[in-house]
Structure 1
Amino acid sequence: MSLFVCLALAPFTQAKMINDIEIADSIQVADQSLALNGAGVRSKFFLNLYVGALYLSQKNADAEALISADEAMTIRLYITSSLIDGEKMSEATLDGFVKSTGGNLAPIQKEVELLISAFRDAVEDNDVFDLQYVPGEGVSVIRNGEVKVVVPGLGFKKALFGIWLSEDPVQDDLKEDMLGEA
């Protein structure tokens, strides 16, 4: 009986499960703990492509403030479809930048090309990408724990995070989920 009481009173935390993917409650970035703000599924033509998760130092549902913020944050992408390959990921990312910037890629063209180069390798089902922004360093693109490239600049970070969080995001309900509004 006492074992049951101890187990019943023990703190119980369960990682969030989305599309059979266990989403971490928190991650470490530059000696700082970031907490899960929200996560959701990116789908297209009724196919689930990836799970996107947003990690912040504190909960925040203000997309505009998050895009502009010069503070550590991460978008983690869990690839869940074998339909995504390096070429499709590169094309979709470029399309996202065009939407995020209102078609004005000129100021960040070199940075966009650098980021897209990280997706040109084979992208596979079950890959995990971290798009990790650290002030003063830039955005690290990390694939399955390996840093592929670091892209400098707050302006670039704003455009990148705008792919998911801008007024014209890649998918409205994914934006809401990442902002914790769903």
Structure 2
Amino acid sequence: MSRPVPRVRSHGHPLPLTALLLALLLASLPLRAAAERVEVRGVQFATQLEEAGQAYRLIGHGLFRYMIWTAYAGAYYQAPEAPEPAPLSAIPRRLELEYFHAIEADDFAAATRDSLRERLGETAYRELLPALNAFNRAYRSVEPGDRYALTWDGEALLLALNGERLYRGDDPVLASALFGIWLGESPLRDDFRDALLGRR
């Protein structure tokens, strides 16, 4: 014969102990989630990351708008030992972008080439071109909800799509040039850069 489930009373009504414990557990979950993630227009980003033994902490997050469209949500991370944002330095850093619209791989490659040529000037752009071409060949087309991650882990430049690594290189100059598209002195959008760097 089974034993009865212990019951407690809440406002005069009996409540199974297991239900009470479950309610207490569920009540604690939103607080825990809020401490570990931030949300940008329905897109969630972790506040702490670790990849291949390297830790990253969230610096800032925001929305990238192009004309009348909201193109993607982004988050920028750095190694926790770096006290200030330094997106063009040699410290480990990471940029995540989640897209709201479909974009073709060739469009990513063309936009990357055009952005670097404009920001670097022709001579520096030509010096980076072989490494840039190898990087651009790694791009894949995206659908809404896909997420690219660009990482410099202190030794290697990595590009991943939805957690799948597409590229690995070792050129720190290319890494800083790519991060500079969004986070440099002349970024694609000042407001997006400032949001990623935690300035607003």
Aligned to 1:147: 165
Q: Among 100, 117, 120, which residue is 1:101 paired with?
A: 120
Q: Among 60, 66, 87, which residue is 2:87 paired with?
A: 66
Structure 1 residues 177 and 60, CA, compared in 2 at 3 Å: closer, same or farther? farther
Instruction: Report how far residue 17 of structure 1 moved.
Output: 1.0
2:159 touches 2:165 (CA, 8 Å); kept in 1?
yes
Q: Among 97, 101, 112, which residue is 1:81 paired with?
A: 101
Aligned to 2:55: 33
Aligned to 2:182: 164
Amino acid at match of 2:182: W
Structure 1 residues 165 and 99, CA, compared in 2 at 3 Å: closer, same or farther? farther
* Structure 1 spans left out of the alignment, 5+ residues: none
Amino acid at match of 1:50: Y
Q: Among 107, 118, 141, which residue is 2:138 paired with?
A: 118
Q: TM-score, normalised by structure 2?
A: 0.77
1:35 touches 1:56 (CA, 8 Å); kept in 2?
yes
The residue matched to 1:110 in structure 2 has which SS?
helix
1:100 touches 1:160 (CA, 8 Å); kept in 2?
no
2:87 touches 2:184 (CA, 8 Å); kept in 1?
no
Q: TM-score, normalised by structure 1?
A: 0.84
Amino acid at match of 2:106: E
1:60 touches 1:66 (CA, 8 Å); kept in 2?
no
Percent identity of equivalent pairs:
22
In 1, the alpha carbon distance for the partners of 2:172 and 2:142 equals 26
Query: What RMSD over aligned residues (CA atoms) do the two structures have, in Å?
Result: 2.4
Structure 1 residues 61 and 107, CA, compared in 2 at 3 Å: closer, same or farther? same
2:54 touches 2:153 (CA, 8 Å); kept in 1?
no
Amino acid at match of 1:178: L
After the TM superposition, which segments of 4 or more aligned residues of structure 1 sit over 6 Å from their partners? 1-6
| Bigger mean CA offset, 138-147 vs 24-33 | 24-33
* Structure 2 spans left out of the alignment, 5+ residues: 1-9, 11-19
The residue matched to 2:87 in structure 1 has which SS?
helix
Amino acid at match of 2:40: I
In 1, the alpha carbon distance for the partners of 2:121 and 2:154 equals 24
Amino acid at match of 2:168: V
The residue matched to 2:137 in structure 1 has which SS?
helix
